[in-house]
Amino acid sequence: MKKDIILCGVGGQGILSIATVIGEAATAAGLYLKQAEVHGMSQRGGDVQSHLRLSTEPIFSDLIPLGGADLILSMEPMEALRYLPWLRPDGTVVTASKPLVNIPDYPDEAALRAELAKLPQLVCEDIDAMAASAGNPRGANIALLGLAAPYIGILDKNALREAVKRVFAPKGEAIVDLNLKCYDLESA
């Protein structure tokens, strides 16, 4: 069994934290893992993406081929659309619904929604509002991970939840609890 995941967003949104949690869960489960990250101009709000390949068998490349991703997990809707060429025809996109407008010619929000709506398997939620409702506005990335957990498949939701605990443990119990509240949120 294998799962190829593209994580994407804009610098500072927590994409690499999501990758860390998934990687931690995969390692604890004894899975093979390959990861490739592209940070772009991440400190200036640029594109950030990571290829995560998880498998029960050895993996020989850390890059997902075009048309090979099972899942796109995106903190930003335009970034989700940018990586559609990597998505399998039966793949799933889990994305934030609210854009992060960080460029002058950012596409029209209604046009973005219309393009996303064409996808056969889409989960699109206002993760910022979800995280704020859990008392952790900075936890939108972990809320997105919780929404994506059922689609990751090779790792169960509880394995990912336990990885959230381990990854955030050095920051203290209060931070762990805030992130778990975000992870456990259900979509609207």
Q: Are 45 and 13 in contact (CB under 8 A)?
A: no
Which CATH code of 3.30.420.40, 3.30.465.10, 1.10.260.40, 3.40.920.10 fits the domain covering 2-97+119-183?
3.40.920.10
Could you tell me the pTM of the whole model?
0.91
Look at residue 107 in the predicted model and tell me its pLDDT. 81
**What tens digit of pLDDT does each residue of 79-91 get?**
999 999 999 999 9
Beta carbons within 8 Å of 45's beta carbon, 6+ residues apart? 10, 11, 12, 100, 102
**What tens digit of pLDDT does each residue of 101-128 get?**
777 788 888 998 999 999 999 999 999 9
Across all residues in the chain, what is the average pLDDT? 91
